């Protein structure tokens, strides 16, 4: 395929890089990557070793001493050039993301656009790493706070967004003066290798040292644990399941490191009797089936006022019947495959469990076979009538299952259902009633990190802080003031007088 050649992806590839050079290790096992689109072999990747990791860490320790001394706007200039280079490679990288992961081509291209957008955002942020000036109670004193780079940071990314989440972290960390090691999902390493190849071009063009942007593909049980336990890694950003994030938080916090946790979501949309269904239904369908339900912000629960329940259900069924499922590189299709057969098993097992608990499947839920579905990863998205308290509804199944349920009277009842799960990532309400909308956004409303009115749960823009509460982990990435997580805060006091007054009026004469 032409896009593989354009991105420097060979039949066999090395999985660890100090930034511009690839370690040549072949002893740690070889990942063979097959596309969930058609089941065909794409390429293989030699996993990195612990020796490779040490080489990378040494290069990063040296690079940080240089990188932190560069003015932040100069670091921003490098990130600007990375954004320009990504524009050059947007189409081939978007195709690779789509083919390797299985999301639609539009979503693959959109993911690369997110990388470009966060580069642009980070360039502006490089001139706005603001601290604050405070008034001192002591005469002839000035107080202020400022932010300094943390050092080495790590991005551990998941398969569902092979490149965008990395860029959210790495580009902001870079303008903050940090150096970044990336451990991508072993399910989608080729997209990471391609991204590293693109970034390496910019580093080489600017005569920058090894160790600023690095990559290692390898086992979580060895390399992943090594990173979590390594005191040289000041901060670890983890995107993954709640189980994985909990373990990472425990290990990293035990050595007093920092974490950014972006974990599970169990996102709901409330549709009130005052909703505009012309915009609500498309939002629900995209939220539920986009990326085949494999976004952490995918819509998993739909809470509908009883007076319009049957109307919404019938309209949803009609919309689902019109969905085209197939090769995601064909832009006529709405939904591609799940990432692998394990995900298919999770999908079918979840449906068995919800039926056992009393749920009713009213659409889909089948594994598709035949021409075009040879990979065994294609399924028909499911709509299930269920209750919020069902055990399986309380869990996050990373697949296109939409649980629909009623609420009877007040918006507070609907909000209680929305909040009645352990996750707290994204939430939405569709209503034209301003009182309901404001109630949903108030302190008595949604308990999620993201709360939307008249738009869906997925498709967040990079300008806002992304993340959630409760078992979603509490981390924030991307926009707003998320950059502060990649820096250490320092309070400074300067005495420009000839005396030494103490705070709180304390006297200490000698």
At 395 the pLDDT is 97
- Tens digit of pLDDT for each residue in 13-39? 999 999 999 999 999 999 999 999 999
**Distance in angstroms (rounded) separating the CA atoms of residues 483 and 126:** 10
At 373 the pLDDT is 97
- Tens digit of pLDDT for each residue in 380-413? 999 999 999 999 999 999 999 999 999 998 999 9
Grouping H, G, I as helix, E, B as strand and the rest as coil, residue 110 is helix
Q: What is the DSSP string of 253-305?
A: HHTT-EEEEE----EEEEE-TT--HHHHHHHHHHHHHGGGG-STT-EEEEEEE
**Distance in angstroms (rounded) separating the CA atoms of residues 278 and 39:** 37
At 160 the pLDDT is 97
- Tens digit of pLDDT for each residue in 182-207? 999 999 999 999 999 999 999 999 99
Q: What is the DSSP secondary structure assignment for residue 234, as one 8-state letter?
A: E
Phi, psi of 269 (to 5 degrees): -115, 130
Positive or negative, the CA dihedral 13, 14, 16, 22 is negative
Crossing angle for the helix pair 189-205 and 72-88, to the nearest 10 degrees: 120
Q: Tokens 């949309």 appear where?
A: 269
Strand order across the 141-149 sheet = 133-134, 141-149, 487-495
Grouping H, G, I as helix, E, B as strand and the rest as coil, residue 227 is helix
The predicted model gives 7-11 an average pLDDT of: 98
> CA–CA distance from 409 to each of 104, 306, 387 (Å)?
39, 8, 16
Residue 179 has pLDDT above 90, yes or no: yes
- Tens digit of pLDDT for each residue in 246-257? 999 999 999 999
**Distance in angstroms (rounded) separating the CA atoms of residues 498 and 41:** 74
Question: Are the CB atoms for 167 and 119 separated by under 8 Å?
Answer: yes
**Distance in angstroms (rounded) separating the CA atoms of residues 403 and 411:** 19
The predicted model gives 79-101 an average pLDDT of: 98
Closest CA to 21 of 43, 50, 48, 2: 48
Please confirm, yes or no, whether 262 is among the known catalytic residues: yes
Confidence at 258, pLDDT banded by 50, 70, 90: very high
Confidence at 355, pLDDT banded by 50, 70, 90: very high
**Distance in angstroms (rounded) separating the CA atoms of residues 429 and 150:** 39
Q: How many percent of the chain have pLDDT more than 70?
A: 100
Confidence at 459, pLDDT banded by 50, 70, 90: confident
Closest CA to 268 of 466, 440, 471: 440
Options 119, 176, 296, 377, the catalytic residue: 296
Closest CA to 366 of 353, 383, 385: 383
Q: What is the DSSP secondary structure assignment for residue 334, as one 8-state letter?
A: S
The predicted model gives 481-492 an average pLDDT of: 98
At 191 the pLDDT is 98
Please confirm, yes or no, whether 448 is among the known catalytic residues: no
Confidence at 1, pLDDT banded by 50, 70, 90: confident
Q: What is the largest CA-CA distance in the chain?
A: 91
Q: Tokens 């601290």 appear where?
A: 131
Provide the β-strand partners of residue 477: 466
> CA–CA distance from 102 to each of 36, 183, 188, 345 (Å)?
6, 20, 10, 17
The number of beta carbons lying within 10 Å of the beta carbon of residue 27 is 9
Confidence at 337, pLDDT banded by 50, 70, 90: very high
Burial of 453 (0-12, 13-18, 19+ CB in 10 A): middle
Tokens at 416, concatenated: 């209680």
Q: What is the DSSP secondary structure assignment for residue 482, as one 8-state letter?
A: G
Options 107, 262, 396, 471, the catalytic residue: 262
Q: Measure the CA angle with vertex 313, ends 310 and 317; round to 5°.
A: 140
Residue 180 has pLDDT above 90, yes or no: yes
**Distance in angstroms (rounded) separating the CA atoms of residues 141 and 213:** 41
Residue 450 has pLDDT above 90, yes or no: yes
At 510 the pLDDT is 86
Confidence at 460, pLDDT banded by 50, 70, 90: confident
At 276 the pLDDT is 98
Grouping H, G, I as helix, E, B as strand and the rest as coil, residue 468 is coil
């Amino acid at each position: 395929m032409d896009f593989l050649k354009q991105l420097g992806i060979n039949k066999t590839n090395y999985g660890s890089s100090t930034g511009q050079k690839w370690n040549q290790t072949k002893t740690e096992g070889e990942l063979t990557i097959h596309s969930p689109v058609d089941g065909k072999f794409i390429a293989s990747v030699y996993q990195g070793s612990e020796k490779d990791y040490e080489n990378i860490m040494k290069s990063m320790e040296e690079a940080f001493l240089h990188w932190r001394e560069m003015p932040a706007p100069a670091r921003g200039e490098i990130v600007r050039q990375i954004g320009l280079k990504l524009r050059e490679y947007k189409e081939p990288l978007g195709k690779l993301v789509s083919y390797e992961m299985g999301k639609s081509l539009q979503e693959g291209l959109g993911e690369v656009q997110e990388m470009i957008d966060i580069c642009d955002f980070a360039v502006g942020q490089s001139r706005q790493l603001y601290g604050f000036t405070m008034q001192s109670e002591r005469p002839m004193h000035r107080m202020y706070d400022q932010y300094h780079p943390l050092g080495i940071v790590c991005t551990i990314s998941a398969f569902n967004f092979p490149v965008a989440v990395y860029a959210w972290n790495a580009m902001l960390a870079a303008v903050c003066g940090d150096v970044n090691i990336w451990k991508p999902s072993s399910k989608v390493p080729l997209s990471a290798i391609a991204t590293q190849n693109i970034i390496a071009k910019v580093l080489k063009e600017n005569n920058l040292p090894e160790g600023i942007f690095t990559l290692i593909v390898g086992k979580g049980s060895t390399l992943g644990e090594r990173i979590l336990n390594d005191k040289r890694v000041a901060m670890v950003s983890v995107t993954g399941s709640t189980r994985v994030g909990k373990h990472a938080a425990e290990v990293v916090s035990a050595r007093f490191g920092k974490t950014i946790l972006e974990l599970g979501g169990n996102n709901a949309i409330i549709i009130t009797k005052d909703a505009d269904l012309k915009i609500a239904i498309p939002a629900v369908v995209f939220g539920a089936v986009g990326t085949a339900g494999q976004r952490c912000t995918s819509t998993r629960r739909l809470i509908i006022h009883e007076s319009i329940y049957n109307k919404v259900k019938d309209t949803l069924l009609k919309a689902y019947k019109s969905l085209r499922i197939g090769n995601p590189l064909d832009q006529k299709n709405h939904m591609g495959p799940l990432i692998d057969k394990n995900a298919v098993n999770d999908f079918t097992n979840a449906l068995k469990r919800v039926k056992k608990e009393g749920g009713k499947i009213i659409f889909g839920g089948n594994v598709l076979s035949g021409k075009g579905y040879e990979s065994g990863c294609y399924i028909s998205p499911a709509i299930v009538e269920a209750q919020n308290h069902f055990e399986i509804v309380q869990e996050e199944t990373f697949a296109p299952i939409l649980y629909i349920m009623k609420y009877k009277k007040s918006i507070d009842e609907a909000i209680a259902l929305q909040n009645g799960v352990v996750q707290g990532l994204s939430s939405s309400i569709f209503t034209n009633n301003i009182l309901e909308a404001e109630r949903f956004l108030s302190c008595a409303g949604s308990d999620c990190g993201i709360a939307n009115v008249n738009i869906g749960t997925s498709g967040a823009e990079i300008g806002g802080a992304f993340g959630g509460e409760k078992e979603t982990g509490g981390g924030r990435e991307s926009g707003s003031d998320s950059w502060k997580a990649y820096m250490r805060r320092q309070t400074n006091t300067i005495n420009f007088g000839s005396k030494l007054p103490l705070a709180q009026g304390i006297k200490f004469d000698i």
